[in-house]
Structure 1
Amino acid sequence: MVGGAIVDQKLTLHAPSVMGTSNPGRASTSLGGVARNVAENLARLGVDVAFLGAVGRDALGDELIARTSALGVDFTHVLRTDAPTSTYTAVLDPSGELVIAVVAMDRAGELSGDFLRARRLVLQGARVLVADGNSSEDTLRTLVDIAGERGIPVVLDPVSVPKAVKVRSVLRTRRSIHLVTPNREELEVLVERTVRESDLPSAANALHELGVERVWVRLGARGGFLSVEGEASWLPAFPTRVVDVTGAGDASLAGYLHALLLGASPEDAARSGHAAASLTLESEHTVSPLLSPRALRERLQGATS
């Protein structure tokens, strides 16, 4: 995993938000960052995973590394910086849906291409390489190049609309990419045009032409759209009682990767991702402490029974 590791600060409103004034609610703090979240989810699913990212040399950074390492994520290759550890502050409405979020994150951008090249042997020992859009464009391109030398599949998660621009720049170089995982708005950035749900097949084909093997578009409560070299599938979301949407996309990518490494078909891997997301949506934590291979199997079995 290459990308962001931050501290999440979540503020949940007791009532619908009223702009321009104080709102009553409750606060909680947890560990976050897309790449770190995916890494923790994978570790909870029993997958060996290493994290490469930048973390501040401060108390928050020490706690982030200690707690994530204790779950089985290898932080040996993390870059410690003198800048503060990054933070993500989210305001959620009473139903758990995101109202607004503020990210104070520039540490992941400090991972240069030289940093990754110095760890080439570590990267080339991976079965899959995953990077999020918190990484710099130079980092993303270098990662894809290193992976290409050994034919290692690469997964890119755009993270957000502004950060999808960096992923778009990498895709324009027509490097081989195993999977990109945008939502519809991020997909619009990648293909540089408005994309309605009816346009998803053509937008995915545009990315296939750039060398992307699989395009998995997250559609929230409506499920997801998966295109594998032009073969499209619409996959419904699992029935879920939503407590908090934070981290659901990260869990879905981890569920996909877990199944992929076990040899699952693209559709079954995506279904595994939806199952992992549903478990996370039902938790107030960014990464559900209940996530496990058994919990994932039971959720998948429950959906088909």
Structure 2
Amino acid sequence: MITARAVTVIGGANVDVKLTLNASPVPATSNPGRLDSSPGGVARNVAENLARLRVPVRLISAVGNDAHGEMLLSEAHAAGVDVTSVLRVNEPTGTYTAVLAPEGELVIAVAAMDVTAQLNVSALQARRSLLEDSALVIVDGNLSSEALSFVGCTAHEAGVPLIIEPVSVPKAAKVRALLHLGLQVHTLTPNCQELEAMLARPLSTHEDLLRAARELHGWGVQRVWVRLGADGSLFCTARHAEVLPALPARVTDVTGAGDAMLAGYAAALLEGQSDLQSARFGHAAAALTVESSHTVSPVLTPEALHARLKGN
């Protein structure tokens, strides 16, 4: 069981701009749709989800000295996240713009996250004691390779469990470099495409995924949790692998589902739940999130997760 100190979440915080199409996309022309915006960013989303699940959590990120940055910090603080360690810099706050199909599935997204480069080794060194005093460190792939390595080495040396969220295919290569340092990683949470990028080969079958997980175990990753979208997930340890089904849900918007899934998993681990049961709590959090138009579901609570699992 992980101890009950605060969780430290490190990585991206940005404004989510979501453009939902009225009909199937037509390339190379204007498509009618509607626009919504909300607080976002993988690390920020995970931190807010954890706070809504009543987990003590601090966020280490970087935002601009602008209205967007102020909004992100105030919204996270209102949800219960400690934001006192977030950098404020003279650059625009990051944005994530997603184009969604009418049924809520992602068509394409653009992440303008240059501000996250300010979260460098020097900035993290100044916050080293926070990492060392964490119950759990969660880091996303928005950081530079050097910053990721610093976080990984610091957590490893302090004996703090580390969870890594790759974020996207282009950023997964940085995670590969970190894993080759031979550190102990509590959990890695890629989807299939990110896992392919980390291992530099296609993974087309269930057996391919199992072999990939075994290879990652050899690199020091204790738990490989592969997201399979509507097919659920594959949870692998050195001794056991199991496919967990996704819970039924009426999809409104898939944005933020993976972040909620990670937060539900981490919160359950902190409660003392088993690995697999914690992953199931993650699936419950994802189901609640895809039914909401918000990136972080306002109805997410521990009671809601228990009720969702009981109902399935």
State TM-score, norm by structure 2: 0.96
Tell me which amino acid in the other structure corresponds to 1:76.
Answer: T
Correspondence for 2:20? 12
Alpha carbons 1:110, 1:136 under 8 Å: kept? no
Correspondence for 1:46? 54
Correspondence for 2:305? 296
Tell me which amino acid in the other structure corresponds to 2:279.
Answer: A
Tell me which amino acid in the other structure corresponds to 1:135.
Answer: L
What is the DSSP-based 3-state SS (H/G/I as helix, E as strand, rest coil) of the residue aligned with 2:60?
Answer: coil
Correspondence for 2:233? 224
Correspondence for 1:204? 213
Percent of residue pairs bearing the same amino acid type: 55
Tell me which amino acid in the other structure corresponds to 2:124.
Answer: L
Tell me by how many angstroms 1:134 deviates.
0.4
Alpha-carbon distance in 2 for matches of 1:36, 1:99:
23
Alpha-carbon distance in 2 for matches of 1:9, 1:230:
42
Correspondence for 2:159? 151
Let me know the Cα RMSD of the aligned residues.
Answer: 0.8
Provide, for residues 183-217 of structure 1, a one-character-per-residue CA deviation record: whole Å limited to 9, x for no partner. Answer: 00000111121112321110000100000000000
Out of 58, 62, 70, the residue aligned to residue 66 of structure 2 is: 58
Q: How many residues align?
A: 303
Flag structure 1 segments of 5+ consecutive residues without an equivalent.
none
Tell me by how many angstroms 1:230 deviates.
4.1
Alpha-carbon distance in 1 for matches of 2:198, 2:27:
32
Alpha-carbon distance in 2 for matches of 1:85, 1:232:
40
1:253-292 mapped onto 2 (5 Å cutoff) = 253-292=262-301
Tell me by how many angstroms 1:119 deviates.
1.3
Provide, for residues 152-172 of structure 1, a one-character-per-residue CA deviation record: whole Å limited to 9, x for no partner. Answer: 000000000000011000001
Tell me which amino acid in the other structure corresponds to 2:292.
Answer: S
Tell me by how many angstroms 1:114 deviates.
2.0
1:118-129 mapped onto 2 (5 Å cutoff) = 118-129=126-137
Out of 226, 231, 239, the residue aligned to residue 248 of structure 2 is: 239
Alpha carbons 1:205, 1:230 under 8 Å: kept? no
CA 1:120–1:107 in 2, change beyond 3 Å: closer, same or farther? Answer: same
Flag structure 2 segments of 5+ consecutive residues without an equivalent.
1-8
Alpha carbons 1:6, 1:88 under 8 Å: kept? yes
Does the alignment pair 1:109 with 2:117?
A: yes
Correspondence for 1:22? 30
Which aligned runs of 4 or more in structure 1 are off by greater than 2 angstroms?
A: none
Tell me by how many angstroms 1:116 deviates.
1.4
Tell me by how many angstroms 1:109 deviates.
2.0
Provide, for residues 247-275 of structure 1, a one-character-per-residue CA deviation record: whole Å limited to 9, x for no partner. Answer: 00000000000000011111001000000
What is the DSSP-based 3-state SS (H/G/I as helix, E as strand, rest coil) of the residue aligned with 2:187?
Answer: strand
Q: 162-171 or 13-22, which moves further after superposition?
A: 13-22
Alpha-carbon distance in 1 for matches of 2:87, 2:42:
17
